[in-house]
A and B are shown apart, each in its own frame.
Chain A
Amino acid sequence: MRELQRYLQELIDRVVYLQDIKGENWEGSVYLLEDLKQLKEKFFQIPEKECHHLLESYETRLKILEDRAARELTPYEIVKITRNPQRFTLLDILENVYDSYTELGGEGDINVDPAVICARAMISRRVGDKIYLHQVIVIGHEKGHGEEFRNGGSAKPWGNEKALRYMRVAETEGIPIHFYIFTPGAYPIEDYPGAAQQIARNLYFMSKLRVPTVAFISEGGSGGAEAIGLADIRLMASRGYYSVISPEGAAAIEGKVKEGERPPRELVEFCARQLKITAEDNLRLGTIDRIVPEPPLGARRNDYQFFKRLRYEMIRATDEVILRTKSLKAFRSYALRRKKEEENPPEDFDIHVRWDLSEVEIEKLLDLRSKKYRQMSRHVLGLTKCSFRNYVEKTQDVGLRLYHDFRYGVLKQSQKIIQRVMEDLSGEGAAFLRQLTEPLKTAYDLLSTRPKRPKARVLPVEEGLVDLPELYVSPLALEDRTVTCPNADTRGCPDIWVPDLYGEFCGVCPNCGYHFPLEYQWYLSNIFDAKSIKEFNENIASGNPLGFKGYDKKLALAKKKTGRNSAIITFQARIGGISLIVAMLIADFRQGTVGVAEGEKFIQACDRARITKRPFLAFVHTTGGIRIHEGTLGVIQMPRCTMAVREYIDAGGLYLVVYDNNSYAGPVASFLGCSPYQFAIRSTRIGFAGPRVIRETTGEDIPPDYHSAENALRRGHIQGIWDRRELRKKLYEALLTMGGKNLYYK
């Protein structure tokens, strides 16, 4: 009888789960639930045999409903499956997939951040009669089954910092890392270390993490997912979602919904469809490598068959990462065998692969990771060229690299070495001679009546920065009227005459120093040496790779308005004679949002700076984040660009970031936030999420100056605040005093 009772409860749970996904009134499921509840009430009045029959018939009814539900699943229903409290979480995985584990840096609610779990775990494989144990570090989000303190798997900045700390441990010990992504998004607060800045740091570190990494995505919410998502192989649960923004968030933006109001269900469904968030979509787009199959309506915490499969997939994926670094032949045969096993994974493994790598293999691993991310999402740009042109361009690239390596590498380095040796020799000689001549010199100075020799004077450094012949004046200055400074109430600023403000004052309030926004052309003309700008890659154009309905029109409008193909301008220019590469995100084109085209242009600019040994400046006129219309293809630009930046900085370059106006979300949480030299122009606002998102997510109000540059500086997110009028001078000083050794002028 007890078994029957359990059977009944299980059926009730299944109906409730079905209703959670498809809605309460879906296809008469409500009647089935009523029948089951009635049976529960008079359970002990019915004979056992009859009860069994009844339950079986209910299960048949339920099975039919479940099959139908699985066939007609919409993307938004998949989101609901992923968010369901009955779904498996990381702790379930640690219990069922791994043989043993020890949680690090916290236990339950006594934790730095209960939303992030780090653990040292053992996973075993059987080969024949032998059992082999592998050690791994597991890092992931824990949603908890309704536990409030887990915060729904939304990692706070210090949670991501904890993840980074244990990545370092894994690197020191040389053991692989398994990442598990179960997050609706990062918790959007700026408290130190800062949501955006910490994700950027994690990405920067993971791009060259010297151990094999495998990520498994169940709920991949944008930036929060990327914080632990840059892995060698990315697996995804078949009923998981991976998206740039939650469907509700996208609907609120698309439908211009007021704060506090809920977007209509149809619009949320529409956005979920358009954003291409399912596992199949992501596999097709190339943002993940493989799908881990789940039961048709998603795996729940007691689906042991699924855990078995997941264990197999994690071991196989780690094996793959390791074998790729060893020998191509060995890997190929292994991969082929694996393909056959996909339908029915075996219990045993036919080989044992040791999960440690030699130095050479680590280099190969990093190289493969770099290539993998650099290739991601490029296919949508249609950059394939005819083989002859490709050949010519490749030859040009090699030529350019050889020239710069020879000119600023071999020649400059040998020149530097000789210079250093000469300096050492002359210093040594002078010190030796001084010992001999010093007594004589002192005696001579004492006896001599002549005044002492004057002290050595510091020679003034030759100033390389000359003023620009003529200042560009913004067309905003052509109006004959006055404007009010936003700080007039608190600082008593008088009204400013527009021709003065946008002309002589460069858009700065003469009383309080508030910086009024200026168009990007002002910076192009007033920062760089006259006629020194040479733009490149202007043909790489933003597109609509997901076929997002209604977006083509908006994109065409932006192109027409700006006369540009994307929100980023990449060019070579000079400041005080020093040549540099610049990537500039502009507000006029879709609020400086980053998509595939912008990411590709940024990477190419970064590579050009690396090859030609030029400093690299990212000037952010404004960025609104990742372009939601490009879905995960946009999100993937975060690791891609960070990878390029890491390689550039490691090569000894100088990566400067200057923020202006508003800079938020994805780019700040990746390739901008990872720079060691970030500066902001006064009156800039920098952050991860805007005030509205913070209010809606955390339920708390934020002060009006929460995202101000001053507060960003106070929190240590940026290194300084610059005045717009001194930007050219400040940049010149930074070029001379900062950066690595591999710059052509050093």
Chain B
Amino acid sequence: MALDNRKINQLLQSFRANPYRIFVVVTPHTGYLREFLVKEGDEVKGPTGKWLEKLGTPLFILEREKNPKTIRAKASGIVSKVNYELEGRFVEAFEPVLEIKHSLTQKEIIAELLRKTLHIVTAPEKARYFLSPELAKKIEKEGEGKVVVKPGEELAIMSFMKRETPILHEGPPMVVFRVFFSQGQMIEQGEPLFGLCLENERPYVEKLISRVKEEWPA
């Protein structure tokens, strides 16, 4: 569906109506739910630290075969809908225990919107990626979000074990809206490389981003 003002409003409306993501915490296996360590309305934190080495907030204790296991939060947010009646009872695997209501940040909303509106080119293999020299030169001259690529034009060069493969643009002419890697960066397979959009859609995407920045300050 082409992007226009109505579509923008629709997208923003959907985030305005529900600027949260709900993470349902389920039991990883069967066992006795011994104790809740949080209550509804509590704020919890997911794993933090540079290497996510600091564990998340403890949520509840699940015991199986005399092995009490503390289940911790995987995401930050507010605890909602705690299934209190499970306390002290035997529970099956994957039984929903509580929900964490995670408020989306500006960065997360923009990422999600870009995923929805842009045409994403992903990395076909785990390799080092370089912008094609012509494209790099053009982006340097005109700035990001302004260069148009035509079908068959070279977007990037994938380099692995001295083997270099060009990545060509397929489909209609498009604007290179975002480049998601730095020159020579090692990218895992399936990770995004470029976000492209039709030339007539570009002003709308920019507008969308600026409106998100207005409504959800960082």
Contact = CB atoms under 8 A, between A and B. Distances in A.
A497 to B, nearest CB: 7
B53 A704 contact: yes
22 contacts: A479-B66, A480-B66, A481-B65, A481-B66, A481-B67, A482-B64, A482-B65, A482-B66, A482-B67, A483-B67, A484-B67, A484-B69, A495-B29, A495-B64, A495-B65, A495-B67, A497-B65, A701-B49, A701-B50, A703-B51, A703-B53, A704-B53
CB-CB nearest 8 A-B residue pairs: A481-B66, A482-B65, A482-B67, A704-B53, A703-B51, A481-B65, A481-B67, A701-B50
Contacts of B49: 701
A479 B65 CA distance: 11
A497 B29 CA distance: 15
A651 to B, nearest CB: 46
Contacts of A481: 65-67
B13 to A, nearest CB: 38
A388 B51 CA distance: 64
- Chain A interface residue bracket vs B: 10 to 19
Interface in B98-155: none
Interface in A659-717: 701, 703-704
A483 B68 CA distance: 9
Contacts of A483: 67
A589 to B, nearest CB: 30
Contacts of B50: 701, 703
Contacts of B69: 484
Interface string B31-64: 0000000000000000001110100000000001
A495 to B, nearest CB: 6
Nearest to A704: B53
A483 B50 CA distance: 28
A701 B29 CA distance: 34
Interface in A472-503: 479-484, 495, 497
A497 B65 CA distance: 8
Interface string B61-92: 00011110100000000000000000000000
Interface of A: 479-484, 495, 497, 701, 703-704
B165 to A, nearest CB: 31
Contacts of A703: 50-51, 53
B30 to A, nearest CB: 11
A479 B66 CA distance: 10
A695 to B, nearest CB: 12
A484 B64 CA distance: 10
B196 to A, nearest CB: 35
Contacts of A701: 49-50
A704 B64 CA distance: 28
A435 B67 CA distance: 76
A468 B50 CA distance: 47
A704 B51 contact: yes
B90 to A, nearest CB: 16
A703 B54 CA distance: 11
A704 B48 CA distance: 13
Contacts of B67: 481-484, 495
Nearest to A701: B50
Contacts of B66: 479-482
Given A481-B66, A703-B53, 6 more contacts: A482-B67, A484-B69, A495-B29, A495-B64, A701-B49, A704-B51
Contacts of B64: 482, 495
Contacts of A484: 67, 69
Nearest to A703: B51
Contacts of A480: 66
Contacts of B65: 481-482, 495, 497
Nearest to A494: B29
A484 B66 CA distance: 11
A495 B30 CA distance: 12
Contacts of A497: 65
A495 B66 CA distance: 11
A480 B53 CA distance: 31
B209 to A, nearest CB: 33
B93 to A, nearest CB: 12
Nearest to A479: B66
A700 to B, nearest CB: 10
A267 to B, nearest CB: 28
A638 B51 CA distance: 35
A483 B63 CA distance: 11
A511 to B, nearest CB: 15
A293 to B, nearest CB: 50
A495 B28 CA distance: 12
Interface in B155-210: none
Contacts of B51: 703-704
B18 to A, nearest CB: 29
A254 B126 CA distance: 50
A180 B124 CA distance: 59
Nearest to B55: A489
B60 to A, nearest CB: 15
Contacts of A482: 64-67
A703 B51 CA distance: 6
Nearest to A705: B51
B23 to A, nearest CB: 16
A480 B65 CA distance: 8
A701 B54 CA distance: 12
A484 B65 CA distance: 11
A701 B52 CA distance: 12
A425 to B, nearest CB: 54
A243 B201 CA distance: 70
Nearest to B52: A704
B120 to A, nearest CB: 28
A703 B67 CA distance: 28
A485 to B, nearest CB: 11
B151 to A, nearest CB: 42
B32 to A, nearest CB: 13
B53 to A, nearest CB: 4
A48 to B, nearest CB: 64
B199 to A, nearest CB: 44
A482 B65 CA distance: 6
A482 to B, nearest CB: 4
A329 B170 CA distance: 95
A509 to B, nearest CB: 14
A483 B65 CA distance: 9
A214 to B, nearest CB: 45
Contacts of A479: 66
B64 to A, nearest CB: 7
A7 B145 CA distance: 70
A122 to B, nearest CB: 50
Contacts of A495: 29, 64-65, 67
Nearest to B69: A484
Nearest to A706: B51
A481 B67 CA distance: 6
B58 to A, nearest CB: 14
Contacts of B29: 495
Contacts of A704: 51, 53
A465 B65 CA distance: 39
A336 B69 CA distance: 73
